[in-house]
A and B are shown apart, each in its own frame.
Chain A
Amino acid sequence: MPELSPPEIKALASILDELDYYELLHLERGAPASTVKHAYHAASRRLHPDRYRALDGTSRAALVRVAKRVTEAYSVLRHAKRRQVYDARLAGPERPVRLQLAEAESAAEKKAVEERLGTTPNGRRFFTLAHQEIDRGNLAAAARNLQMALTYEPSNEFFKQKLTEVRRHLR
């Protein structure tokens, strides 16, 4: 029943810290959520400790190490916010292959807070202007400023949300 031999398991464990979560689960970077789940199931069929009861000693330790990493990979990649944080780090200069879950949470929270204010000087400037216009009741001007803010920070979810809100009131 076991699909991997002890030497194969040990070999996989020895390169574990070089594999990012996508490589570990045999996934493309942009893989959709359903594919992530599928890959997790496939990896579990291959590597779940229950499938290797006869294994012991260092081979078992290696297998368990791999199995825990598979679960970790899934726990990050199935979760949109964590995955975003992970992808950003992976694109960075250090390319860390692991992301601790609690770390992902605080990074995601930090990101949300930053987004509310803007992450670029111009983004922040236009967003502040937009806010002032909203306070004055000048929604058309507010929408223009938000659009300007978004040209500097096109992926800022909070700006987008604010703009949708303002536009809804304009109608």
Chain B
Amino acid sequence: MAEIAIGIDLGTSTSCVALSRQRKVEVLLNSFGEAVSASVVAFHADGTVVVGNAAKANIIHEPRHTVHSAKRLIGRYFFSEELRKAQAVCSYEIVEGPNHSVRIKVREEQFSLPEISAMVLKEMKSIAEANLGEPVSKAVITVPAYFNDNQRQATRDAGRIAGLEVLRLLNEPTAAALSYGFGRSVNQKVAVYDLGGGTFDISILEIGQDVYEVLATCGDTFLGGEDFDDRLIDLLAEEFLAQEGVNPRKDPYALEKLKVAAESAKKALSMDDEVEIRIPDVITGSDGRPRAIVRRLDCAEYTALVADLVQRTFKVCDEALQQAGLLAGQLDGVILVGGPTRLPLIRRAVAEYFGQTPKVDVDPDQAVAMGAAIHAATLVGSTEGSVLLDVTPLSLRIGVAGGLAETVIERNTPVPIEQTRVFTTFEDFQEAVRIRIYQGESRSADQNELLGQFTFSGFRRADRGQVRIEVTFEIDTDGIVNVTAREPETGQQASTQITLSSGLSPAQLDAIIAEGKADRVRSEAPVARAPAAPGPARAAARPGAAAMPAAPPSASTSDELEVLPDDAFDLEVDEEFEVVPGNARVAAREPLEPEALDLMPEGTDLRDLPGPGAAPGAGAPAAPSDVDDLFGDMDDLAGPPDDDAS
């Protein structure tokens, strides 16, 4: 019998799970018979955790203990602008964790974002198990095409915490295209316009029978239906403030009521031209009487309210078409994905932009999960599948002297791919280089997302420019980045899979899985039909677990911290390379700005600071004296030795 592998669309607002068997694909319904479940996690006072639509209903009662839209925060740094935007609209408490990561604090307990998302995934897994009557341990999980490496890694971690073997991370628009082309012969160029709850993606694909080639993908990970809701919330709140002199946004209960009203108004406007918004008791006035909001809203007013957001999606579309080298008129079809694309105002705008009526073949809420299920079945070999040729959404860069970031792999390059570039030292007798990896479209390093950094040392000491350092960058089919540094002369090698911003080192991940927080989820799905899925699922969910060092005691993180001297980076800032010798290339580049150094998280996992000969993941911690050496004479990388003919 074929293995079972499910497809999960882990959305910002809602999630969906599907299964493909015997050349058929079906969405698996939750215990209420619903195809989609809210990506909401409610933490009750008695310690139970509820996920899904029941949890969502809890928001207005316990806004501080109900976590929603976690996907907006996953894989983000605490200092990011995205975080501040999220903080403005979230009623639950967001705090800073180690490595500048984001933690959510609920009932005096802190959770990492992968842990929260794992609870949603766990619920999806339970829904599948209840439907199938057997344990499920393998899944394809979808991510927005525009997710960077940090966000992808954090999502994969979430899958592992949920007890799933993540067969693949699949880009949402690609999954939708797969479900569009499923079971028929298609030879078309299509655009997938994917406006979700929190993210917008556009992918241009060329489908040739069984091959799905993504020509270009562009997106905005902070633009979605929830931004539409925010506009309406703002309008209602401002009007209320003007009328009653109280800002309802300041009250978490009132804010959640506004959110519910805004969302249902949006949904109503997908079907009707006009809607009445009625919130009987937004807030209790100083006289003890409840204050209400009653207001009519028509399509025209709503359209005007969100017009600039809709225009923003088309700017992204322009970019994608340009990258694909196509004009809108050359497309054979436009596929709409995501709840907000049900809005007539979006459908009209899309039809106008692309000059054609969007296809109605796919269900905007379910196509992504179905595509993931189709590919999951292919991967476990139960069906003859399609080949997905995807691209990397963001340019991969390496930091060089002067606060610059050089492109190594341009955005929209197909994956998997590997590129090697040669760099050199820029000081005499330099002992170490720091290798910083970024994703983004700016030449200046700090305008990009830092994926991670590591120090490479132990090579031959020589005059500047004499040591060649080969840095190899790999992007795999999941869009996940691996970087290796090597000195060809001695064969000295160091590598890292960058794992900084999710804040979870492999050891922490093991500890979380062992702790089993995700198991606290009280499933909405009836347990009667689903036999308990103990041991095997968990064990299978950790490929290569045996190769990893045994999960260290929980104190390991702080041990690692101690090894790294606190002043390591201050030292480097003080030196600031002002004594750079009169080499034209070097002199042309500014010394490192201190802000870039701030990005180095204090609790950097030692895996990222390999000592001489350390194998990736071997976790052999360097002795403190070695670490001194690492930082003693550390410099930035100089550019490629042969790229400056000037």
Q: Which positions in A face B, CB cutoff 8 Å? A: 1, 37, 40-41, 44-45, 48-51, 53-54, 64-65, 67-69, 71-72, 74-75, 100-103, 105-106, 110
Contacts and interface: CB of A to CB of B under 8 A. Distances in A.
Contacts of A41: 208, 211, 213, 387, 389
Contacts of A54: 381
Contact of A106 (B167, B389, B420, B643): B643
Contacts of B477: 48-50
Given A1-B384, A101-B410, A102-B406, A45 B210 contact: yes
Contacts of B80: none
Given A1-B381, A45-B210, A50-B378, A101 B643 contact: no
Q: How large is the interface on B (under 10, 10 to 19, 20 to 34, 35 or more residues)?
A: 35 or more
Contacts of B421: 100, 102-103
A7 to B, nearest CB: 20
B387 A44 contact: yes
B531 to A, nearest CB: 26
Interface in B378-414: 378-381, 384-385, 387-389, 406-410, 413-414
A71 B420 contact: no
A84 B143 CA distance: 36
Contacts of A103: 421
Contacts of B381: 1, 53-54
Contacts of A100: 419-421
B416 A101 contact: no
Contact of B380 (A44, A53, A75): A53
B185 to A, nearest CB: 15
B211 A67 contact: no
Contact of A51 (B387, B408, B416, B418): B387
B416 A71 contact: yes
Nearest to A54: B381
Interface of B: 167-168, 208, 210-211, 213, 375, 378-381, 384-385, 387-389, 406-410, 413-421, 474, 476-477, 643, 645
B419 A101 contact: yes
A69 B417 CA distance: 7
Given A41-B211, A50-B385, A53-B380, A64 B413 contact: no
A53 B211 contact: no
Contacts of A102: 406-409, 419, 421
A50 B415 contact: no
A101 B408 CA distance: 7
A154 B419 CA distance: 34
B186 to A, nearest CB: 14
A102 B418 CA distance: 12
B379 A53 contact: yes
A103 B208 CA distance: 31
A85 B376 CA distance: 40
A65 to B, nearest CB: 8
Given A1-B384, A54-B381, A106-B643, A49 B416 contact: yes
A68 B379 contact: no
